[in-house]
């Protein structure tokens, strides 16, 4: 039986811009809330300084880590941001930090608190689309359902799923931060197969990033559904579509999936 004809036994969903739209304005509100809380507890800092440094260090991490298929490390970013706010000079734009030097400007407790604050702000300020929970509930009646996502804080997705009421319908939450590599690397799909308990040919992965979600899934022997709709200004990583693979489904919105499966 070919992968295209085998029954879909399990479905995995990407998180950001698949289950949860993340616009530029929404993510900026999360960072602003984090900046204000950090200033009150760890500062004082100027909000604009925190925001600009956070953005610069985020972009530096993407330049450093994504080409090597590593997830960006929020604890490392937090240490770098606090170091700069407290007077440590940053390396030149294209250079790497000496993270031992960056870490000397903060304590582990401060970094843990800043990460928790950022994670809580995301959960509080970016609400789940109302249609996602009933969709997951419906799909879980006949198939195994899981989240498989590139994301720098696995605990954020755990907490978000609990608050949104998704957790009872999920077999697993597989996140790049925990795995140690990002989609499209095969290792993250292989681990998800083990946790789900189904062969790749029977798993449909649903996502909005062409390389990470569609090419990655299909090269791992999975099936794939491409979600075309995402915020046009989203700051989350993305990749252009090409013709290297052909997904099983193309969706304008992720909630179109149940009807397409029924059809």
Same-domain status, 81 and 138: no
At residue 239, the pLDDT reads 93
Q: pLDDT band for position 263 (50/70/90)?
A: confident
Kindly state whether residue 117 falls inside one of the protein's structural domains: yes
Which tokens is 124 given? Answer: 């509080």
Q: What is the CATH number of the domain that holds 181?
A: 3.40.50.1000
- Condensed to tens digits (0 to 9), the pLDDT of residues 39-91 reads 999 999 999 999 999 999 999 999 999 889 999 999 999 999 999 999 999 99
Buried b (16+ CB within 10 A) or exposed e, 4-29: eeeebbbbbbbbbbbbbbbbeebbeb
Kindly state whether residue 41 falls inside one of the protein's structural domains: yes
At residue 18, the pLDDT reads 98
On the question of pLDDT at 1 being above 70, the answer is no
- Condensed to tens digits (0 to 9), the pLDDT of residues 177-189 reads 999 999 999 999 9
Same-domain status, 155 and 94: no
Same-domain status, 14 and 83: no
**pLDDT mean over 209-226:** 97
At residue 105, the pLDDT reads 97
Closest CA to 13 of 240, 178, 159, 204: 204
Closest CA to 156 of 20, 42, 255, 60: 20
Same-domain status, 56 and 17: no
Name the domain boundary from 102, 125, 148. 125
Name the domain boundary from 125, 147, 163. 125
On the question of pLDDT at 2 being above 90, the answer is no
- Condensed to tens digits (0 to 9), the pLDDT of residues 147-193 reads 999 999 999 999 999 999 999 999 999 999 999 999 999 999 999 99
Closest CA to 55 of 32, 21, 89, 23: 32
Total domains in the chain come to 2
Kindly report the average pLDDT of the chain as a whole number.
Answer: 95
Same-domain status, 132 and 165: yes
- Condensed to tens digits (0 to 9), the pLDDT of residues 103-144 reads 999 999 999 999 999 999 999 999 999 999 999 999 999 999
């Amino acid at each position: 039986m070919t992968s295209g004809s085998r029954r879909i036994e399990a479905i995995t969903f990407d998180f950001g811009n698949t289950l949860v739209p993340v616009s530029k304005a929404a993510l900026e509100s999360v960072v602003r809330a984090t900046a204000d809380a950090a200033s009150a507890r760890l500062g004082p800092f100027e909000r604009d300084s925190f925001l600009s440094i956070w953005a610069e260090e985020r972009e530096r991490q993407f330049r450093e880590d994504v080409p090597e298929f590593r997830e960006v490390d929020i604890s490392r970013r937090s240490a770098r941001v606090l170091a700069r706010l407290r007077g440590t000079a940053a390396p030149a734009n294209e250079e790497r930090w000496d993270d031992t030097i960056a870490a000397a400007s903060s304590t582990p407790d401060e970094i843990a608190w800043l990460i928790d604050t950022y994670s809580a702000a995301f959960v509080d300020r970016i609400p789940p689309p109302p249609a996602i929970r009933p969709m997951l509930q419906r799909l879980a009646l006949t198939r195994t359902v899981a989240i498989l996502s590139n994301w720098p804080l696995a605990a954020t997705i755990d907490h978000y799923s609990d608050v949104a009421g998704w957790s009872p319908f999920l077999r697993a939450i597989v996140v790049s931060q925990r795995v140690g590599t990002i989609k499209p690397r095969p290792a993250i799909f292989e681990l998800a197969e083990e946790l789900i308990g189904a062969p790749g040919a029977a798993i449909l992965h649903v996502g909005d990033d062409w390389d990470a979600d569609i090419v990655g899934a299909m090269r791992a022997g999975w099936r794939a559904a491409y979600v075309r709709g995402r915020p046009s200004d989203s700051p989350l990583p993305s990749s252009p579509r090409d013709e290297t693979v052909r997904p099983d489904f193309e969706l304008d919105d992720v909630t179109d999936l149940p009807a397409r499966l029924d059809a």
